[in-house]
């Protein structure tokens, strides 16, 4: 239900560095020989990666960028200038770019098995960034001395809107002659207000051969890894630690929005919640049950809604994933429909608990939508929230405080309507967050991951 909001402004500036390259005899070594173990991408440990190293790679230390992997082996290798790469005849740098000497490391494409299997696209992908400012850009050094048969481009994957924004080729190397030097490329990304990843994509599709390609000094510059809501101080019992540093309030854990840069606040911690307490309906009803008189809730999707000819608005057919849907049409007697969670354990008395969900209500609605808490041992059903009247053709995010519930309980969403109602109603992404329950796993809150 998140949509692409801002097209990022992108421009390309190309500079030449002063590091020159000359041809030297290459030593007879394999790509991995003599390379420090910490530089081997398949054994890098995210726990060893600092916040700076997460978005910058000089290949002297671990970083958390993801390398493409065809045929069960990585396509790229971290190397020293003296090591043999693609072949004995290949022209390779005699220095790296970041250190500027023969003892510095760089990344080189050595996808021999992938070539043999017919693969022609190779990539390097950044970790997830929560947002970026206006000056955010991708900067890297590239070494490719021969006449190029491939294209280097940049893609942005916007996680909330599931959009991919592509740039044209970063470099046009269809020129004669050689360029035995490192070149610095810079791509302006600009401001983004949702989590995203940057992918450097090298393609040789449709070409007869692939030449040497080396990368160094890879950096997302002036890009804020953190979130404006990541606090400096972390308060025990009230905060969730993000893996790259900083904290978010417990109420923002498991709310279907990635607040930590790597998204761990919407990861395994949410799997520990009781069944039905955290449900997007994309994998099924999560134990929720429905009932009704003349109309009732159905589990559907935006794709299914697109085939419907009598929707009152356009939002539902453009909504990704599944949701609960209630259609009211020309009802002359009124009615009631109920959606109810499975039984949930008592809430944690010492923590603030919130119920969060998304509601869609559009059309002529002569009725009320009510949310209530039904405890199993009491006859009283405390009303938590109600809404009536006309609404816009859009999803509304509802956040409600839930006081201590000392007994097992269920959440009920009840729709009651009268004569003449003609409306579309939907509910999605309901969550009682990680702060609501004692899951028996203290690492769920105020945690630190280990890998």
Say which CATH number the domain at 33 has.
Answer: 2.60.120.200
Same domain for 279 and 416, yes or no, is yes
Same domain for 196 and 315, yes or no, is no
Residue 233 lies in a domain: no
Same domain for 280 and 192, yes or no, is no
DSSP state, 51? H
The token pair at 299 is 């589990």
Same domain for 180 and 294, yes or no, is no
Question: Would you give per-residue pLDDT tens digits along the chain (451 residues)?
Answer: 443 333 333 333 333 332 222 222 222 333 333 333 333 433 333 334 444 456 788 888 877 788 887 656 667 888 888 776 554 456 788 899 988 888 899 998 876 656 666 778 888 998 888 788 778 889 999 988 765 567 888 999 888 777 788 755 454 433 444 446 888 888 888 888 888 889 998 887 766 665 678 899 999 887 765 544 554 467 776 788 888 777 888 888 898 888 887 788 888 889 889 999 999 999 999 999 999 887 899 999 998 988 888 888 889 988 989 999 999 987 678 899 999 999 999 887 656 788 999 999 999 898 999 999 888 776 656 677 888 776 788 899 898 888 778 889 999 999 999 888 899 999 999 999 888 887 554 344 444 333 2
- The residue segments making up the domain with residue 66 are 12-221
Same domain for 204 and 334, yes or no, is no
Give the pLDDT confidence of 184-214 residue by residue, as tens digits: 888 888 888 888 889 998 887 766 665 678 8
Same domain for 206 and 289, yes or no, is no
Q: How many CA atoms lie within 13 A of 420 on its CB side?
A: 3
The predicted structure's pLDDT at residue 5:
32
Residue 85 lies in a domain: yes
The predicted structure's pLDDT at residue 443:
42
Q: What is the C-alpha separation between 41 and 421, in angstroms, rounded?
A: 60
DSSP state, 239? E
Q: What is the C-alpha separation between 131 and 401, in angstroms, rounded?
A: 28
Same domain for 152 and 295, yes or no, is no
Residue 230 lies in a domain: no
- Per residue in 178-206, is it b (16+ CB within 10 Å) or e — as a string? ebbbbbbbbbbbbebebbbbbbbbbbbee
Query: Edge-to-edge strand order for the sheet containing 121-125?
Result: 66-67, 121-125, 196-203, 151-158, 163-166
Task: Provide the domain count of the chain.
Answer: 2
Residue 6 lies in a domain: no
The predicted structure's pLDDT at residue 358:
93
Q: What is the C-alpha separation between 83 and 26, in angstroms, rounded?
A: 6
Residue 246 lies in a domain: no
Same domain for 86 and 216, yes or no, is yes
Same domain for 24 and 102, yes or no, is yes
Residue 396 lies in a domain: yes
Same domain for 215 and 300, yes or no, is no
The predicted structure's pLDDT at residue 423:
92
Same domain for 38 and 108, yes or no, is yes
Contact 226, 246 (CB under 8 A): yes
Same domain for 290 and 189, yes or no, is no
Q: What is the C-alpha separation between 275 and 432, in angstroms, rounded?
A: 11
Q: What is the C-alpha separation between 63 and 244, in angstroms, rounded?
A: 12
Q: What is the C-alpha separation between 122 and 403, in angstroms, rounded?
A: 52
pTM tops 0.85: no
Q: What is the CA 182 to chain-centroid distance, rounded?
A: 32
Residue 261 lies in a domain: no
CA angle 73, 76, 79 (to 5 degrees): 120
Residue 299 lies in a domain: yes
């Amino acid at each position: 239900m998140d949509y692409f909001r801002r097209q990022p402004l992108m421009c390309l500036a190309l500079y030449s560095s002063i590091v020159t390259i000359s041809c030297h005899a290459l030593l007879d070594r394999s790509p991995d020989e003599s390379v420090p173990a910490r530089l081997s991408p398949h054994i890098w440990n995210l726990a060893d990666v600092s916040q700076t190293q997460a978005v910058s790679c000089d290949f002297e230390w671990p970083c958390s960028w993801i390398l493409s992997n065809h045929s069960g082996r990585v396509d790229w290798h971290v190397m020293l200038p003296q090591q043999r790469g693609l072949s004995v005849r290949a022209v390779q740098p005699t220095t790296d770019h970041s250190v500027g000497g023969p003892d510095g490391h760089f990344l080189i494409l050595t996808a021999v098995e992938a070539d043999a299997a017919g693969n022609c696209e190779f990539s390097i992908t950044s970790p997830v960034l929560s947002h970026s400012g206006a000056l955010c850009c991708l900067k890297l050094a590239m070494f490719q001395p021969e006449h190029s048969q491939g294209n280097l481009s940049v893609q942005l994957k916007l996680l909330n809107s599931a959009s991919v924004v592509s740039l044209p080729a970063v470099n046009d190397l269809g020129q004669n002659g050689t360029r035995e030097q490192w070149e610095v490329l810079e791509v302006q990304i600009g401001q983004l207000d949702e989590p995203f990843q940057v992918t450097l994509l090298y393609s040789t599709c449709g070409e007869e051969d692939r030449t040497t390609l080396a990368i160094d000094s890879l950096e997302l510059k002036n890009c804020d890894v953190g979130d404006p809501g990541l606090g400096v101080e972390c308060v025990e019992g009230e905060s969730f630690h993000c893996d790259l540093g900083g904290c978010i309030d417990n109420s923002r854990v498991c709310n279907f929005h990635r607040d930590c840069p790597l998204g761990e606040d919407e990861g395994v911690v949410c799997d520990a919640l009781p069944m039905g307490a955290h449900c997007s309906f994309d994998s099924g009803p999560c134990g929720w049950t429905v009932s009704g008189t003349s109309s009732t809730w159905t589990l559907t999707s935006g794709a299914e809604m697109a085939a419907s000819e009598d929707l009152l608005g356009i939002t539902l057919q453009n909504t990704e994933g599944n949701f609960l849907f209630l259609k009211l049409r020309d009802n002359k007697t009124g009615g009631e429909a109920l959606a109810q969670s499975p039984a949930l354990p008592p809430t944690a008395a010492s923590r603030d608990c919130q119920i969060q969900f998304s509601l869609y209500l559009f059309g002529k609605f002569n009725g009320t939508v009510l949310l209530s808490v039904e405890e199993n041992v009491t006859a009283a059903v405390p009303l938590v929230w109600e809404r009536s009247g006309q609404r816009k053709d859009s999803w509304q995010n509802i956040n409600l405080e839930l006081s201590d519930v000392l007994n097992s309980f269920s959440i009920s969403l009840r729709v009651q309507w009268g004569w003449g109602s003609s409306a579309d109603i939907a509910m999605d992404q309901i969550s009682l967050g990680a702060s609501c329950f004692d899951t028996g796993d203290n690492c769920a809150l105020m945690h630190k991951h280990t890998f």
